[in-house]
Amino acid sequence: MSGLSADVADDFEQQLEAVCNGNAQCSMAHFSIIRVSGRDAQSFLQGQLSSDLREVSESRSQYSSYSNAKGRVLGNFLIWQFRGDYFLLVSADIATALCRRLSMFVLRSEVKLEVLAEPWLLAGVKGGGAEAVLKDVFTEVPAQPHDVIANESGAIIRLPAGNLLLSYDASASGSIKSRLEQACRQVGVEAWSLLDIAAGVPWVTRPTQEQFVPQMINMDVLGGISFKKGCYPGQEIVARTQYLGKVKRRLFRVELPVKASPGDPLYSPATGDQAIGMIVNTGCDQHGALVALAVAQLAGWETGLFLEKEYKNVLKDLGLPYVID
């Protein structure tokens, strides 16, 4: 782990080991929840987001995205219901702005949007010991990806990487926080992000807003787009991309030769000085390799994808756990 002192590198390796093979808990401070409540909440979200909200329930979650009129993604979400309200997990750096923007379109609808703060907490957990704690509190844990189990104080969602997302009211959940802390190794965002990268699940952040149509970040493959529902912002562009030609840019899981950041452009001899893609999310795997999710033109792989115009540092395609067209 170049650039890290020996003690910091050792601690990070222990975090990665817990994430991959042990019991891990992450505070998920890099995410926020937008709660959407009110009699018209479902119909409102149905007219704003790319997925079919009728498929979301208190036992089933769903990925989705929110775009501008040109079909460019402003943010993407994991959505579930709790006590009749819709909970939208979104990158924390864009949550307030997205909540404010969505609120502009409420008009006469009976809908309220808010970014939740304490006592509402998030936790990412992984491992048998962590699940044992949650079983004791919730009686059971969700078995399949996107399954949701809830009680009076919160909900657990099984994520595609096999880990669990816990959303709960700390004022009503007793000692669950302290019990998880005792059972798990506390890990930071950098270690935890490995799970989403390994699962091929991207998260739009401020540097990558309005850079992609939903299919470029594989929202169609991840179940985040419905092509049968009614209109929503950017729907015409999304539909045209789907039906009038193959998607030319897609999300890939890659290994990086050097550090990069979300929003960094990618280049290829195929396009010269013109950027052919962009880094979406970055992390580090259990072997110390730098990994990322990146959007790039499919044709770019024929001549190689690089982090700079001089073509010095080439990306390696690591494959995804699902099939893209």
pLDDT in tens, 261-295: 999 999 999 999 999 999 999 999 888 899 999 99
Considering the four listed CATH numbers 2.60.40.3080, 3.30.1360.120, 3.40.640.10, 1.10.10.10, the one that applies to the domain covering 6-195 is: 3.30.1360.120
Look at the block and give the residue holding tokens 């601690």. 11
> Is the domain covering 206-317 a CATH 2.40.30.160 domain?
yes
Q: Give the residue-averaged pLDDT of 100-125.
A: 95
CA 120/CA 31 separation, integer angstroms: 12
Decide: 117 and 46 in contact? Cβ < 8 Å.
Answer: no
Decide: 310 and 236 in contact? Cβ < 8 Å.
Answer: no
Tally of CB atoms within 10 A around 139:
9
* Residue 236 token pair: 């015409």
User: Which distant-in-sequence residues (6+ apart) come within 8 Å of 128 by Cβ?
Assistant: 23
pLDDT of residue 7: 53
Look at the block and give the residue holding tokens 């959007």. 295
CA 266/CA 273 separation, integer angstroms: 10
Residue 176 DSSP label: H
CATH 3.30.1360.120-classified regions of the chain:
6-195
Look at the block and give the residue holding tokens 């950041």. 261
E-strand stretches of 170-322: 185-187, 249-256, 265-266, 277-284, 290-297, 316-317
* Residue 303 token pair: 């001549």
How far are the Cα atoms of 92, 98, 235 from residue 73, in angstroms, in the given order?
16, 11, 11
Say yes or no to pLDDT of 4 above 50.
no
How far are the Cα atoms of 73, 114, 148, 210 from residue 35, in angstroms, in the given order?
20, 5, 17, 23
CATH 2.40.30.160-classified regions of the chain:
206-317
* Residue 273 token pair: 């000085």
Stretch among 46-50, 83-87, 150-154, 171-175 having the lowest mean pLDDT: 171-175
pLDDT of residue 113: 98
